[in-house]
Structure 1
Amino acid sequence: MTVLEIENVSKKYVLNQKNKSNDDLRDSISRWSRNLFKKEKDNQKEEFWALRDINLEIKQGDRLGLIGANGAGKSTLLKVLSQITEPTTGRVKVKGRMASLLEVGTGFHPELTGRENIFLNGAILGMQKAEINRHFDAIVEFAGISKFLDTPVKRYSSGMYVRLGFAIAAHLEPEILVVDEVLAVGDADFQKKSIGKMRDVSKSGRTLIFVSHNLTAVQGLCNKGAYLKGGELIKTGHIDEVVNEYVKNVSKFNLLQKWEKPELGPGNDFVRIKSISLIPTQNIEQTKFNTTTEFTVSIEYWNLMDTAELNVSIFLYSMIGECVFNLGDDAKHFKKGIVKSVCKIPGDFLNDGSYYISVMIVKDRLAPVYFFEDALAFDIQDYREGTDWYGKWPGAVRPKMITVESKQLEFMD
């Protein structure tokens, strides 16, 4: 049975328009005088289409993962589905009760306590008081706010907001549960509980719409996928097929840069970069790295000085600009010619995510000769086995932990 039908939905916004309803008399006169002397083309409104002709059908029990880059239209589509905003064109048909967790604090009254907001949200979802009472203790326990139950939620942290909002949405048994990226605010323990709860919801035959940049969590939870790009629906279907299409389109891989002549390569009068590359150690052509992949960083450069003591320093940065490590090879004396340095990065070391590499060539162990910023960029995909949790592991590194069998010690009384 179809529980959610989206037909030719588009959403248009008008940009750079001031809210004229809040103008006072002086503002109104000033705006009128400016417009009096403006050319007609200056008064044209700038339009932005956040969604364009979206058609999607979701069946009862489907677990739909909605993926796409920032600005793709995911949150706008969820707001349309949740009837927070009206589509410019098209229509949405919903069968059953829908609960949405779209952003921190949505649906909460800041002056009311946690207890009061549970009943308020339940009423908004169409619940009777007896039904809310039946789930009340489970909601409080899941959210972990028992000590702050009678405190106004305006004093809650963002994590407490999210925990309570998710607990209400998940425990009041809606036919359709919509969850946006807000789970990223919670800690690892809360993410694990939330993903487990969403899995329970899906097993009960209810419908789940899940938005996240954590593709591993999406693949672990969902059976269907929809990929949005620039407000348009690019692909729908089985979740693995949709994720592969998305990764193919947004891959940041730049595994090789090379230059044939010194005058063409980046550098200066002292050194010029000849090539820099990432090479997987497996003897196969590989365009996707995961957390188990071992690879080497290879740097070749032209030394244009007659003789110099040189070494290479490598900087590995995470996607948010944090330096994961900086290391250098041993300084050696080189004559004019090509110099090569290699750094091996083991598998089961880096966490999944996006990274970039910068390279510095150093003279006499302390004087930078040339700094090649953002030389390479690459993605590391997640890989897991033997676990039911697909939340994001914190940190930039994730070395593999090995359990060693040992003889159990006997304790004497």
Structure 2
Amino acid sequence: MTFAIKIEGLGKRYLLKHQKSRGYQSLREVLAQKTQKITAASKALLSGKTSQMGEGNEEFWALRDVDLQVEQGERLAIVGRNGAGKSTLLKLLSRVTEPTCGRAILRGRIASLLEVGTGFHPELTGRENIFLNGAILGMGSHEIERKFDEIVAFADVEKFLDTPVKRYSSGMYTRLAFSVAAHLETDILIIDEVLAVGDAAFQRKCLGKMEDVSRQGRTLIFVSHNMAAVETLCNRAVLLSGGKIVEEGETRKIVESYSRTWRQETSLDDRHDRSGTGQVRIKSISIQNESGQQVSRVVSTQEIGFIVNVKADRDVIGKKIDLILIVCDSRDNRMIPLYTEWSQDDLFVSGELQSFNCRIPAGLPLVPGSYWITAAVLIGGVNADKLERAIEFEVGPSEKFAKDVVLNQAFGQIAIEHSWR
């Protein structure tokens, strides 16, 4: 298969300046310091020596030694934590900035949607911005006119077509920007987080359009923190960390690897932001899938279990113990409580070290996204230990319910399988 993008040894270096605080300085002191620096640099140049970076300067490689090949018609996801180098890579591919080293070979015309409303002028109307944005993407006026009706219909902005886009909502901006980039006949489409804005109907249209783009033999590069969208859209993924590619392969495998990178890394023993008598302390919490494997990512509505390991004082051995796990969303809204008192399970402390298993046969009926666990242990109804945000985990989409749909959390966060007639 012919490649669409070939990256060889690509790197981007920035120079960070750290100015040390010297307190108040007079004009004479500033001039003297500048003169010393110029003199030192001149001597180094005359002697043939390389001038060193100034005091407080630091080299930062946002991207380094990246090698990657993307085949024509492939849908590739680029995932990684904030600061991993995703945006830098997209800017280099889009020719927004030049690389420090290496090269990227792109075959065909490229359209980039790196930001909501990229290339739009706020004072121009939607109609005018379609032509402006199309021209920026390298399209001729005849080509834009031929696609104009499709662009407007897809964006659903007919009523506001002759209104300045500065009056558009962020959702309208996104719809129009995506529609222009997706409908004009580019060979490579680069998209950064466009599904973060927009209603469910628009997201579904985006998914369908991206499928069409792929079937037409066009190449898609997609960057998102929404792992549900990544899994739905892309057939291959790349995991970036520290500006380097650490893993690439099948999308579901890479999403699982990415989830492990942001799993709670510090031991709960080291946490000092806890409350309670301390008679029992939570040592660790882990998650198991239906096969008994420890995971940091679960599938919605699929059987899972939480394993809670505790350490107890000798004087509470034999006493009744209650455990509470509360599943919270990324905004700390409490979603699902798991409480021994509610399930009427009588548990007792049997030793200094003990494990408790909470099984959920039906799984967590949650919309895909990131969630936290707040945990507490009670002895005799009194709080012995409580930890906010004890662990973080990811919920992925169900394999049979809402397939190929990116569920929007704006409509709610509980996903219950249902049917209509």
TM-score higher than 0.5 here?
A: yes
In structure 1, which of residues 62, 83, 86 is the aligned counterpart of residue 74 of structure 2? 62
Relative to the length of structure 1, the TM-score reads 0.78
Match of 1:294 in 2: 304
| Residues in 2 aligned to 1:210 and 1:281: alpha-carbon distance in whole angstroms | 28
Match of 2:188 in 1: 176
Mean Cα deviation higher: 215-224 or 170-179: 215-224
| Residues in 2 aligned to 1:245 and 1:54: alpha-carbon distance in whole angstroms | 19
1:319 aligns with 2:335: no
Equivalence map 1:211-290=2 (5 Å): 211-247=223-259, 249-250=260-261, 252=263, 271-273=279-281, 277-278=285-286, 280=288, 282=290, 284-287=292-295, 289-290=298-299
Match of 2:176 in 1: 164
Mean Cα deviation higher: 74-83 or 180-189: 180-189
* Structure-2 change in CA distance of 1:222 and 1:305 (3 Å): closer
1:130 aligns with 2:139: no
Whether the 8 Å contact between 2:5 and 2:104 is mirrored in structure 1 is: yes
In structure 1, which of residues 369, 381, 384 is the aligned counterpart of residue 396 of structure 2? 381
| Residues in 1 aligned to 2:401 and 2:387: alpha-carbon distance in whole angstroms | 41
Counterpart of 1:319 in structure 2: which amino acid? S
Whether the 8 Å contact between 2:151 and 2:179 is mirrored in structure 1 is: yes
Q: Describe the superposition over 1:282-329 as per-residue Cα deviations: whole angstroms up to 9, x where unpaired.
A: 573443532112325657564757999985544322234332245655
| Residues in 1 aligned to 2:105 and 2:84: alpha-carbon distance in whole angstroms | 22
Equivalence map 1:1-400=2 (5 Å): 1-16=2-17, 32=31, 35=34, 43-247=55-259, 249-250=260-261, 252=263, 271-273=279-281, 277-278=285-286, 280=288, 282=290, 284-287=292-295, 289-291=298-300, 292-296=302-306, 298=308, 302=312, 304=315, 312-326=323-337, 328-330=339-341, 345=360, 346-361=362-377, 368=383, 370-385=385-400, 388-394=403-409, 397-400=413-416
Mean Cα deviation higher: 89-98 or 219-228: 219-228
| Residues in 2 aligned to 1:221 and 1:336: alpha-carbon distance in whole angstroms | 48
* Structure-2 change in CA distance of 1:163 and 1:368 (3 Å): same
Unaligned runs of 5+ in 1: 19-26, 260-265, 406-413
| Residues in 1 aligned to 2:349 and 2:86: alpha-carbon distance in whole angstroms | 55
SS in 1 for 2:327: strand
Mean Cα deviation higher: 249-258 or 171-180: 249-258
* Structure-2 change in CA distance of 1:14 and 1:337 (3 Å): same
* Structure-2 change in CA distance of 1:98 and 1:342 (3 Å): closer
Mean Cα deviation higher: 347-356 or 308-317: 308-317
Whether the 8 Å contact between 1:276 and 1:298 is mirrored in structure 2 is: yes
Percent identity (aligned): 40
* Structure-2 change in CA distance of 1:403 and 1:98 (3 Å): closer
Q: Describe the superposition over 1:337-357 as per-residue Cα deviations: whole angstroms up to 9, x where unpaired.
A: 869987554415233333332
| Residues in 1 aligned to 2:4 and 2:349: alpha-carbon distance in whole angstroms | 71
Q: Describe the superposition over 1:163-190 as per-residue Cα deviations: whole angstroms up to 9, x where unpaired.
A: 1110000111111111111321222221
SS in 2 for 1:87: coil
| Residues in 2 aligned to 1:134 and 1:5: alpha-carbon distance in whole angstroms | 32
Unaligned runs of 5+ in 2: 20-25, 41-51
SS in 1 for 2:163: coil
Whether the 8 Å contact between 1:270 and 1:369 is mirrored in structure 2 is: yes
Give the CA deviation at 1:154.
Answer: 1.7
Mean Cα deviation higher: 305-314 or 278-287: 305-314
* Structure-2 change in CA distance of 1:317 and 1:148 (3 Å): same
* Structure-2 change in CA distance of 1:117 and 1:341 (3 Å): same
Counterpart of 1:378 in structure 2: which amino acid? F
Mean Cα deviation higher: 323-332 or 146-155: 323-332
Counterpart of 1:389 in structure 2: which amino acid? D
Counterpart of 1:2 in structure 2: which amino acid? F
SS in 2 for 1:72: coil
| Residues in 2 aligned to 1:77 and 1:324: alpha-carbon distance in whole angstroms | 36
Q: Describe the superposition over 1:40-95 as per-residue Cα deviations: whole angstroms up to 9, x where unpaired.
A: 98634222111102222223222222222221111111111111111112222222
| Residues in 1 aligned to 2:319 and 2:9: alpha-carbon distance in whole angstroms | 67
| Residues in 2 aligned to 1:336 and 1:201: alpha-carbon distance in whole angstroms | 59
Counterpart of 1:371 in structure 2: which amino acid? K
| Residues in 1 aligned to 2:27 and 2:112: alpha-carbon distance in whole angstroms | 39
Mean Cα deviation higher: 62-71 or 291-300: 291-300
* Structure-2 change in CA distance of 1:241 and 1:350 (3 Å): closer
Give the CA deviation at 1:390.
Answer: 3.6
Q: Describe the superposition over 1:122-143 as per-residue Cα deviations: whole angstroms up to 9, x where unpaired.
A: 1122222222111111111111
Instruction: State the Cα RMSD in Å.
Output: 4.1
Q: Describe the superposition over 1:191-226 as per-residue Cα deviations: whole angstroms up to 9, x where unpaired.
A: 111111011011011111111223343333333332
